[in-house]
Chain A
Amino acid sequence: MDAHPTPSPSFLQAIFAIVWKDLRAEFRSFELVSSMLVFSLLVILIFNFALELDIKTRQSVTAGVLWTTFAFAGTLGLNRSMAIEKDRGSLDGLLLAPVDRSAIYFGKFISNLAFMLLVEIIVLPIYSILYNTNLFQPGLLLVILLGSIGYTAVGTLLSAMSVQTRTRDVLLPILLFPVAFSVLLAAVKASGGFLNNSELTEILLPINLLIAYDVIFIAVSFMVFDTIVEE
């Protein structure tokens, strides 16, 4: 085809290039992370008054408040990150690149995950200071990592779908929440377990479920992403 064929990049190189592109664009504008962050703080503020987060209530609902906040902020980021690609036509550019299509999925997945983790890493200390609890426990951080992986794995796939529909941003949460219901549930359960110092055997079950969910849905997304972007 090409008179001077350029060597096509390897799978990992392609993923890295997409992640790097997204991160660089983000660090120039901070559009995505800043809106997710402000939104998260607003959600926590609303929860504070809606649930009257006194010490007693907090003990039972902190995990739920955190995950609701992350889930809402997550959809915001997922929507935006795919919409940017679509609106500026860069998705077509990505699709023309001589790389495996699933590399695009993994690239977007990793950068979405990075944004979500970044927001979570900022929200956690703020929540800790506001409510005088220590959320920096290794167990909780592991759960947040596993939960975010599952959530963004499905979210990236579904946002690639919803961005190509007429209703776009409205549709993503409607598609995502019922499918991601179990990952959020297991994450709340495991986080609550760590926060309330439950027995490890009680926490192990939801963590196993999170791992299973992550593996299953990354595998499925990897297999079907091709079909979503093909013309």
Chain B
Amino acid sequence: MQPKPVVLRILDVISILVLGIAAYLALVIAPTERVMGDVQRIFYFHVGTAWTALLGFIFAAVLSVIYLITKDRKWDRIQVAAIEVSLVFFLITIVLGSIWARPVWNTWWTWDPRLTTATITELIYIAYFMLRQGIDDPDRRARFGAIYALLGGLSAPITFFAIRLFRTIHPVVIGGSNPEADGSFSMTGDMLNVFFFALFTFTIIFIDLFWNRIRLGDLQEKVEQLKLKVMM
């Protein structure tokens, strides 16, 4: 087994450090928002995780195309890593958003376009893993996974438009109006700095986890090959 690359080790440490700093900045340094109060501090981590998760999903759809053209399983392993980390990040986004929404919108949940699209996106990628689990042949698993991730990546933006057309005509009855109108605020200098640092933090953490996950996938592949060799 090859040892963990030094750069990755360093990145692990950096991730933990910047996460600590970002938490300190968001919870202590950032000014308290006038209307919403302290709960607004969730915003920094909420957008940080959402931003990286969405980039991860888009990246995964691009990887689908690359895999389908090259048929190199390396791209499949990278795709699994991207989707897995993004799935967790996006779940964190949804949970954080829900906690924020309780005092601000007066409800944990409302079927707003963004929230609904987020839910459907999570479901698509959960289905992605269920599909992969049901297939034994690794090449077929990679092919089907790539196709499904591509379909999912295409359908998510369409879903967003479809719900928008629903909800802009029917107002959201429970929980007030849409997020732009309810619970919006403008960021001042310090808030902006913390915000960008949070984005940076989660990008670093994402890259770190992503890299670790790819390495795990490579090792898994190797173990499987060794097992086959022993059986022969």
Contacts and interface: CB of A to CB of B under 8 A. Distances in A.
Contact of B148 (A161, A180, A206, A216): A161
B159 A181 contact: yes
Interface in A174-228: 174-175, 177-183, 185-186, 189, 202, 205-206, 209, 212-213, 216-217, 220, 224, 227-228
B124 A179 contact: yes
A205 B165 contact: yes
A175 B131 contact: yes
Interface in B131-169: 131, 133-136, 140, 143-144, 146-148, 150-152, 154-155, 158-159, 161-163, 165-166, 169
Contact of B162 (A171, A175, A182): A182
B151 A213 contact: no
A59 interface: no
Interface residues of A, number: 36
Nearest to B161: A209
Nearest to A223: B68
Given A220-B150, A220-B151, A178 B166 contact: no
A107 to B, nearest CB: 19
A180 B134 CA distance: 21
B131 A161 contact: yes
Given A165-B134, A171-B131, A182 B158 contact: yes
Contact of A171 (B130, B146, B155, B169): B130
Contacts of B130: 167, 171, 174-175
A166 B130 CA distance: 10
Interface in B163-212: 163, 165-166, 169
25 contacts: A154-B151, A161-B144, A162-B134, A167-B130, A168-B134, A175-B148, A178-B123, A178-B152, A179-B151, A180-B155, A181-B159, A182-B158, A182-B161, A186-B162, A189-B162, A189-B166, A205-B165, A209-B161, A209-B162, A217-B151, A220-B154, A224-B68, A227-B68, A227-B147, A228-B143
Given A171-B134, A181-B120, A212-B158, 18 more contacts: A154-B151, A161-B131, A161-B147, A165-B131, A171-B130, A171-B131, A175-B127, A178-B152, A179-B152, A181-B159, A182-B158, A185-B159, A206-B165, A216-B154, A216-B158, A220-B151, A220-B154, A224-B68
